[in-house]
Amino acid sequence: MDKKVLLTGFDPFAGEPVNPALEAVKRLNCKKTSNVKLVAYEIPTVFAKSIQHVISAIEKEQPDVVICIGQAGGRTQITPERIAINVDDARIPDNEQQQPVDEPIVQSGPAAYFSTLPIKKMVEAMRAAGVPAAVSNTAGTFVCNHLFYGLMHYLQSYSPHIRGGFIHIPYLPEQTLNSGAPSLCLDHIVKGLEIAAITAANAEEDIKVIGGELH
């Protein structure tokens, strides 16, 4: 039986003309391999609204796997996230000018949720295909972490059979022309995300390899 992976990408924020997450998932929408179908949705970079949009997409699509994707400016690799924490602490406002500080995402919710994706196997598969990738141990405290935590809370509460998680990706080259920040071309991002999605759909268990950090 075919498996379905729901991919989501945020709209542009913080004055950027594009968001690489959205550009990448648009290319992957409706793509199908031998046994995996990808579907993609645009998500607003807005705190509570982002979770509502993803829940609606899950209820409509009934996927086997959900992977939310966001931009992490300054990173050099595609980075599946290990953990989401129960706090909003926004350095900048979201796209509706909300800027929560030190607020829980879910009142009385657990301190954190771990991804249920095979993050190390995904990283290994991307690297094997020549795409720079690494495990990340922080999803920040902005809308990306907010959505990641909200997704995992929903899945654990209502759809524990669906696996889910979050991936951060670097800037596109056109976003860094004046800053010199690291970037990755869209073709490599799309390739990496497709490999990650297919790996997540087909891998029942993760692998145990080094993926930690010293700091």
Is 68 one of the annotated active-site residues of the chain? no
Q: Which of 50, 70, 39 is nearest to 165 (CA)?
A: 70
Joined tokens for residue 95: 């796209």
Selected catalytic residue, list 144, 153, 188, 194: 144
Which DSSP state fits 12? P
Is 53 one of the annotated active-site residues of the chain? no
Is 124 one of the annotated active-site residues of the chain? no
Beta strands in 131-188 (DSSP E): 163-169
Selected catalytic residue, list 146, 168, 188, 194: 168
Joined tokens for residue 1: 């039986």
Selected catalytic residue, list 81, 124, 146, 153: 81
β 79-80/163-169 pair status: antiparallel
Which DSSP state fits 105? S
Joined tokens for residue 67: 């992977």
Query: For the chain, how far is it from start to end, CA to CA, in angstroms?
Result: 43
Rounded Cα distance between 215 and 205, Å, is 27
- List active site positions: 81, 144, 168
